[in-house]
Amino acid sequence: MQITSEQLADLNRAEFTTLEADYAYLEDKLGQRGVDAAAVVKQLEAFQVAIPSWALGAGGTRFGRFGTPGEPATLEDKMDDVGLLHALTATAGAISLHIPWDIPQDYEGIRQRAKSLGLVFDAVNSNTFQDQAGQPHSYRYGSLCHSDPEVRQQAIAHNIEVARIGEKLGSESLTVWLADGINFPGQHNFQQALDRTADSLSQIYRALPESWKLFIEYKPYEPNFYSTVIQDWGTSFMLAEHCGPRAYTLVDLGHHLPNTNIEQIVATLMYRGKLGGFHFNDSKYGDDDLTVGSIKPYALFLIFNELVYGMRHNPDNPYPAWMIDASHNIKDPLEDLIQSLEAILEAYAKALLIDQPALQEAQRAHDVVRCQELLQDAYRTDVRPLVRKSRQQAGAAINPLGAYRALEVRRHLTGERGSESRATGL
């Protein structure tokens, strides 16, 4: 299924009058606060978030998986789904592949398809958390940290192979998330496991194309429940420093213990120019991978405040690679992703509204109450007209979720692919 610009224009006509009225009102209000609404809209238009290939099918849990009819079964179908999201939102102009799930059969065809859908290839992701058929060594006891050099070599070679695949598609970064860790005290030696991991990552880093970045994710637990080798941002940062200047920490919102101050982690990493990638999702307890903004929208806003500050003040920090790393097992995955994209743009827009000079002034004066008011003034602003305006200006749907339903996208996809079609992935 393809969504045409005529279909979008038709749907937008019904939304246009309300949007114009809402936008005019907000533009005026923001103008009184010295904020240029049109400039904010431009920034929203430019913001692009990669969609991971594994979020397009229903996610599974340990207790089962409820598939969604018409899930994309091939790489081509997955790209088409991201193309649909991009047509509806103009915010999803990139796809992030996971190898070996997404190895292209026809590179030229895949590149052409991406071009016609307006997509680029974001970071490629390796997988050493599962064993693949025919693989000589098992990752049961770890991969890059493994005590057996042959297992480590297999995992290193896999990561290098993933980068080679990404290179042929125009990707420019490799994301490594390791499940490596232990379930019980004493199962391995912490220092030795870390040392082997540092050495393995360095070997991968050195084999990457010169312009490439290496993103190192951290996660405190799961699938190992006593210890994870790269458990926190400090460990990731240390390993990135060990690898070299093009290695960075990647923050995944779900990879923190409850109540961790993620905005402070963001600030600290950007201060040192080491925040390379960012995975959006939301959670209540652990790595719940829920829809962005569905549980803690204020925390997301505070994180965006630090991201905006860092993008303005830390020239050594590269522009972060944004990705949604959510995967849900009840909602239609495309509707879930549209909701996440909305939440991301809303949090970004609110962060852009913060009166930074006034905030600095209040901080200098130790006016704690005013500091809070300034943040919350921005947070309480209904920024949806700005987001909608940016979508309309970009030729997308003013109301992407409404358009998705009006166009009966899932019904069409199910008709084309069948109700039993299933995506590869977790």
Work out what residue 346 binds among Mn ion, ligand PSV, none; the CB cut-off runs from 5 to 8 Å by kind.
Answer: none
C-beta of 285 vs 357, nearer to ligand PSV: 285
Please select the residue that binds Mn ion; options are 122, 172, 252, 306, rule is CB under 5 A: 252
Q: Are 374 and 362 in contact (CB under 8 A)?
A: yes
C-beta of 277 vs 385, nearer to ligand PSV: 277
Q: How far is CA 195 from the centre of its chain?
A: 29
Long-range contacts of 31-35 (CB under 8 A, 24+ apart): 33/353, 33/355, 34/355, 35/353
Record the tokens describing residue 421, joined without a space: 């079609």
Give the shortest CB-70-to-ligand PSV separation in angstroms: 23
Site residues (CB under 6 A) for ligand PSV, limited to 107-136: 125
Q: Are 107 and 194 in contact (CB under 8 A)?
A: no
Residue 391 interacts with Mn ion (CB under 5 A): yes or no: no
Work out what residue 256 binds among ligand PSV, Mn ion, none; the CB cut-off runs from 5 to 8 Å by kind.
Answer: none
Give the Cα-Cα-Cα angle 245, 247, 249 (nearest 5 degrees).
125
Task: Please list the alpha-helical segments (H only) found in 219-323.
Answer: 233-243, 262-271, 297-313
Determine the size of the site formed for ligand PSV (CB under 6 A).
8
Angstrom distance (rounded) from CA 254 to CA 13: 39
Please select the residue that binds ligand PSV; options are 27, 122, 217, 282, rule is CB under 6 A: 217
C-beta of 27 vs 102, nearer to ligand PSV: 102
Please select the residue that binds ligand PSV; options are 71, 77, 122, 325, rule is CB under 6 A: 325
Ramachandran region of residue 354, left (φ > 0), alpha (ψ -120 to 50) or beta?
beta
Record the tokens describing residue 132, joined without a space: 């693949």
Give the shortest CB-166-to-ligand PSV separation in angstroms: 14
Q: How far is CA 168 from the centre of its chain?
A: 22
Angstrom distance (rounded) from CA 223 to CA 143: 13
Work out what residue 287 binds among Mn ion, ligand PSV, none; the CB cut-off runs from 5 to 8 Å by kind.
Answer: ligand PSV
Work out what residue 27 binds among ligand PSV, Mn ion, none; the CB cut-off runs from 5 to 8 Å by kind.
Answer: none
C-beta of 252 vs 336, nearer to Mn ion: 252
Give the shortest CB-5-to-ligand PSV separation in angstroms: 33
Q: How far is CA 212 from the centre of its chain?
A: 18
Residue 287 interacts with ligand PSV (CB under 6 A): yes or no: yes
**What DSSP letter does each residue of 351-392 carry, written as one string?**
HHHS-HHHHHHHHHTT-HHHHHHHHHHHHTS--HHHHHHHHH
Site residues (CB under 5 A) for Mn ion, limited to 304-363: 325
Please select the residue that binds ligand PSV; options are 23, 121, 177, 278, rule is CB under 6 A: 177
Please select the residue that binds ligand PSV; options are 252, 282, 336, 346, rule is CB under 6 A: 252
Q: How far is CA 111 from the centre of its chain?
A: 22
With CB under 5 A as the contact rule, which of the stretches 145-153, 223-231, 244-252, 262-270 interacts with Mn ion? Answer: 244-252
Angstrom distance (rounded) from CA 275 to CA 307: 10
Residue 282 interacts with Mn ion (CB under 5 A): yes or no: no
Work out what residue 233 binds among ligand PSV, Mn ion, none; the CB cut-off runs from 5 to 8 Å by kind.
Answer: none
Record the tokens describing residue 393, joined without a space: 């200006």
Nearest to ligand PSV by Cβ — which residue? 177
Give the shortest CB-145-to-ligand PSV separation in angstroms: 16
Work out what residue 219 binds among Mn ion, ligand PSV, none; the CB cut-off runs from 5 to 8 Å by kind.
Answer: ligand PSV
Give the shortest CB-125-to-ligand PSV separation in angstroms: 5
C-beta of 176 vs 374, nearer to ligand PSV: 176
Work out what residue 125 binds among Mn ion, ligand PSV, none; the CB cut-off runs from 5 to 8 Å by kind.
Answer: ligand PSV
C-beta of 143 vs 381, nearer to ligand PSV: 143
Cβ-proximal residues to 83 (8 Å cutoff; 6+ apart), any chain: 2, 117, 118, 119
Q: Are 292 and 280 in contact (CB under 8 A)?
A: yes
Cβ-proximal residues to 178 (8 Å cutoff; 6+ apart), any chain: 128, 129, 143, 144, 145, 197, 217, 228, 229, 230
C-beta of 188 vs 279, nearer to Mn ion: 279
Residue 219 interacts with ligand PSV (CB under 6 A): yes or no: yes
Give the shortest CB-352-to-Mn ion separation in angstroms: 25
Q: Are 111 and 77 in contact (CB under 8 A)?
A: no
Name the residues that contact ligand PSV, by CB under 6 A: 125, 177, 217, 219, 252, 279, 287, 325
Name the residues that contact Mn ion, by CB under 5 A: 252, 279, 325
